[in-house]
Amino acid sequence: MLEYRVMIALPLSLLAIPALALAASDDAARIDRAKRLLDAVELRFEPVDQPSPDGALYRGRFGDHPVAFRRNDASLTLGSATVRLRALGAATSPVVEGLGRHAAKSGYFFGKRESAWRANTPQFSSVRYREIYPGIDLVYRPAGKRLEYDFVVAPGSSPETIRVEFAGAASVRLDADGNLSVVAGGAELRQPKPFIYQDTPEGKRRVDGGYRLLGANSVAFEVASYDRTQPLVIDPIIVRASYFGGGNVDVARAAAFDGRGRLWVTGYTTSQDMPVGGEPFRDVRAGNKDVFVAVFNPLLNGPNALLYSSYFGGSGEEEGRAIAIDPAGTAHITGFTSSTDYPARVGYQDVNGGDRDVFVTQVNLDTRGDASLWYSTYFGGPKQDVGNAIAVSSDGRVFVVGYSDSVEFPLLGGPMQTSVRGGFDAFLIELQPGLQGRASGIYSTYLGGGSTDIGTGVAIGTNNRIYMSGYTMSGDFPIAGSSYQDVYKGQGDVFLTRVNRDRPGLDALDYSTYIGGADLDQAYALAIDATGRLYLAGVTFSSDFPLSPNAYQTKYSNEGDAFVLRFDTTLPRGQQLTYSTFAGGNRTDVAYGLVVDAQGRIVITGYTFSGDYPTNGDDIQRDLQGGFDAFISWFDPALPAAQGLACSTFVGGEATDAGFGVALDATGNPFVVGTTTSRDFGVPEGSLQQSLASFTDGFIARITTCARRP
């Protein structure tokens, strides 16, 4: 049956209530834990089993944003107002039904009267209004913690008959790019211009269309001509971006989401007027360059999106380079500091050891936006020690990887290697912040050969195995186990090492390999999936960099290409490289950030000088705008080689833009952070910061062009 879907995303922060009864309690810790559990639950819908004063037939139990589904409309709370979504000219008595019944049920036990208690209330994944127009159904459904609604149009029906009114809104308007803004109760709901396409044998074909304002508070849809023998999909493309910075240089280096859907970003700033928010630890810059930590609610616009922002630093220089969130929602940041007065608290080392020291800082942000510095420590010797990557285990252990040339770097817990062998050696640190003080230092070791070795990635495997990655210029880098490549091939190779923390000394090195070709190869990012497969991204200057048979791109550009690969250390030597491809154009391309989505697609970001960097998809930026642009690309190893680039786009303006970090929200939408000097970066109206504050600002961009493509 021919049909097409009109999909309109409503980016609201909505929380479902599962079958959980909470007794009144003054125990703040238990209440906070319960709220975290509620925050993690996807939206669900429940029928109203007795007449309701507001006429609701189904409800979405969504915390501060309840949604009620009546016979002829749906109402939701937006700010201090209630907005009703109503299909104009629709059937007066459509059948309203729940779809996709969950095994879970809800229970509500309030008050002393048992007659008021409700047990075994069913939960549904969506609510359908059948035949709301002739041949057209309206379906409300969740996308993580967002609410979306679809119009499903059967053959012989027309989307032009659909009209939606936002009753109770103060204003409904379209911006110059066709995005819809609904304002009510001092808050704003954004509905981006729909992405309309048809699947064809050659891939997705774009069909023009969008919203059309009908009056003060209502809209219709316009769709250009299309092949009516094939399905048509109208899907929202959500692109939300913001500058973030002050009057000098600001660089966003890394990002991560916590369990409440808050986006944490760290980097560094030389601005004295960087935006601060919440109850900052420090609201002015302490030295020449400070770390910043900022927390955002991506579902809000304008100043309300910034929940917390603070400087962290001393009188010298600091850079925040990596961030990880533990299961309790506490953030752990690492990088380097040259300050003798960096804020240290109950840490392993409370004084600076020398030139640059690693720092590890643990910050907690409660539901009111108040931040606490729970743990903060130096870690280093008399020379240069820099943290590049951080990971946190489920039991709260913190692992940091970086590089050091300090001969007196602190060594703990039976290290694999007890001395610096080259100019710089990689290192692995394990801390237990909950133990505090000197007891919090659990393990540390050098790892390297006779030349330079730089650690850039860390991931936690099963059975107490820790993975390290980076790049080495050492022909005698430690190799162990059934290594994929045991020979150093060029000017620098990628390394991948597995450390067994259950073993002491050199016995802990149970796998280590080179990966590379005849020239320089550098890995900058490492990730691990639920099956234990590893993913690496970086840059290669080797035309003979090892590729897999299903590589999307086999041609090297001669000026340096990004690479992305998937690796399985449990397989026999010749089978460990399960996916590897170049990603680049005719000039230099570098990948800095990497994540893996729920479909197993590899998402990378970085920067490119190449005007012919591979792009793919609809409603994307196809052209290089400045000297170099950021990019974001999705690779799917499950697809045939020629189709392996699921989607790819430039991200940038007329000057220079670079992506450094990428994180996925609960619904799989990627957020890219980096730095820009472009005044036309493409920041929409209503963003936190709409213009470049100075020469260089950080940026945060959400791009869902490909996030939900099959």
E strands of 261-418, at which residues? 263-269, 290-296, 306-312, 318-325, 331-337, 357-365, 371-379, 385-392, 398-404
User: What value does the mean pLDDT of the chain take?
Assistant: 84
For residues 301 and 188, the answer to whether their CB atoms sit within 8 Å is yes
* Full DSSP string of 470-526: EEE--TT---BSS-S--S--SSBEEEEEEEETTS-GGGGEEEEEEE--SSBEEEEEE
Under DSSP, is residue 522 helix (H, G, I), strand (E, B) or coil?
Answer: strand
How many CB atoms neighbour CB 119 within 10 A? Answer: 11
CA distance 539 to 658: 14
Q: What is the pLDDT of residues 363-409, one digit of tens each?
A: 999 877 778 999 999 999 999 999 999 999 999 999 999 999 999 99
Structure confidence at residue 617 (pLDDT): 76
Tell me which fold the domain 240-703 belongs to.
Methylamine Dehydrogenase; Chain H (2.130.10)
| Span 166-218, pLDDT tens digits | 999 888 888 776 778 888 877 667 676 766 666 565 545 677 888 889 877 89
Half-sphere exposure of 155 (CA within 13 A, CB side): 7
- Enumerate residues 6+ apart whose C-beta is below 8 A from 121: 19, 46, 47, 49, 105, 106, 107, 108
User: Does residue 93 or residue 28 have the better pLDDT?
Assistant: 93
Whether residue 32 is predicted with pLDDT greater than 60 in this model: the reply is no
To which residue do tokens 């971006």 refer? 241
How far is Cα 268 from Cα 152, in angstroms, rounded to an integer?
47
Gap between the Cα atoms of 692 and 690, Å rounded: 7
Identify the residue whose tokens are 């950080």: 698
- Whether the pTM exceeds 0.75: the reply is no
> How many other CB atoms are found less than 10 A from the CB of residue 570?
11
What token pair was written down for 211?
């919203």
pLDDT reported for residue 650: 93
* CB neighbourhood size of 92 (10 A): 6
Burial 530-552 (b: 16+ CB within 10 A, else e): eeebbbbbbbbbbeebbbbebbb
Residue 465 CA: distances (Å) to CA of 4, 195, 571 = 48, 43, 16
Task: State the CB neighbour count (10 A cutoff) for residue 35.
Answer: 16
DSSP assigned state of 161: G
Average pLDDT over residues 317-346: 96
For residue 464, pLDDT over 90 is answered with yes
State both tokens at 292: 């910043």
pLDDT at 526: 98
- Name the β-bridge partners of 262: none
Report the run of H or E that residue 38 belongs to, with start and end.
helix 28-39
- Round to whole Å and give the CA distance between 260 and 563: 33
d(CA 208, CA 194): 9
Instruction: Find all residues with CB under 8 Å of 72, minimum gap 6, and list them.
Output: 86, 87, 90, 92
User: Cα 447 from chain centroid?
Assistant: 30
Q: Are 150 and 142 in contact (CB under 8 A)?
A: no
Domain positions in the chain: 4-236, 240-703
Length of the chain: 710
The dihedral built from the CA positions of residue 669, 671, 677 and 683, taken in this order, carries a sign that is positive
Q: What is the pLDDT of residues 574-610, one digit of tens each?
A: 999 999 999 999 999 999 999 999 889 999 999 999 9
- Tens-digit pLDDT profile for residues 525-572: 999 999 999 999 999 999 999 999 999 999 998 899 999 999 999 999
Residue range 88-139, pLDDT digits in tens? 999 888 999 988 776 555 544 444 555 545 555 688 878 899 999 888 888 8
Report the C-alpha gap between 359 and 290 in whole angstroms: 12
Q: Which residue has the higher pLDDT, 483 or 33?
A: 483
Q: How many CB atoms lie within 10 A of CB 709?
A: 18
d(CA 648, CA 562) in angstroms, rounded, equals 13
**pLDDT, average across residues 682-697:** 80
For residue 320 the two structure tokens come to: 């925040």
